[in-house]
Amino acid sequence: MRACKACGVEKPVELFADAQRAGDHKRPQCIDCRRAYDKVRLEALNRRRDCEEFRAKRRVYLRKHVRDTPASRARNVRHVVRYRAKYPEKALARMAVQKALSSGLLVRPEACSRCGSSHKSRKGYSLIHGHHPDYSKPLEVVWLCVVCHNEEHRAEASKLEGEVKHGQSGDRSLCLCGLAFPCGEGR
């Protein structure tokens, strides 16, 4: 038996979560008190994060210390160069769609072609991504929301893994690299 530091009630040791820093390797609060504390703390943190002042400070910090530093720009350039060298067909298809969108040849729809939802970012940008089923046809694009786009790539990856497991040669233009949007249109 052990007394909880938060509620003061004597409880069995099994009702205390493990902690590596404590002498007997158990937290001083019981699991119920710790959950209640974590819930209140998380709600306060979420309220603070939803505050426009917090987001403005975060944007300034990221711009100053993370995004707009010479090291981050160089890292981004190296990443883009490696990606285009590794996946030239994907990069060309993505650039073709970007040019077609800017020239008006392609128009990004407001809703997902699969589920019909229209996702928007906090800044109001459309989160409808262009998915390339076949990179050799760069302007044949399926417009999917973020959720459907992720599902599509997971389905393609599992299909390809299944083909490789059975000893068949899979289509190597599909991505197994683990990127969220391997066709590059989600950026």
pLDDT tens figures, 42-93:
888 888 777 888 888 888 888 888 888 888 889 999 999 999 999 999 999 9
Give the pLDDT confidence of 123-132 residue by residue, as tens digits: 777 788 999 9
Helix (H) or strand (E) holding 153: helix 146-165
Position 96 pLDDT exceeds 90: yes
pLDDT digits (tens, 9 = 90+) for 132-146: 999 999 999 999 988
Q: Is the pLDDT of residue 165 over 60?
A: no
Q: Give the pLDDT band of residue 182 (cuts 50, 70, 90).
A: very low
Contact 174, 157 (CB under 8 A): yes
Between 15 and 159, residue with greater pLDDT: 15
The predicted model scores a pTM of: 0.51
Element (H, E) at 74: helix 70-86
Does the structure show a pLDDT above 90 at 101?
yes
For residue 163, what pLDDT band results from cuts at 50, 70 and 90? low
Q: How many Å apart are CA 41 and CA 48, to the nearest integer?
A: 11
- Span 9-35, mean pLDDT? 83
Contacts of 187 (CB under 8 A, 6+ apart): 181
Distance CA 80, CA 85 (A): 9
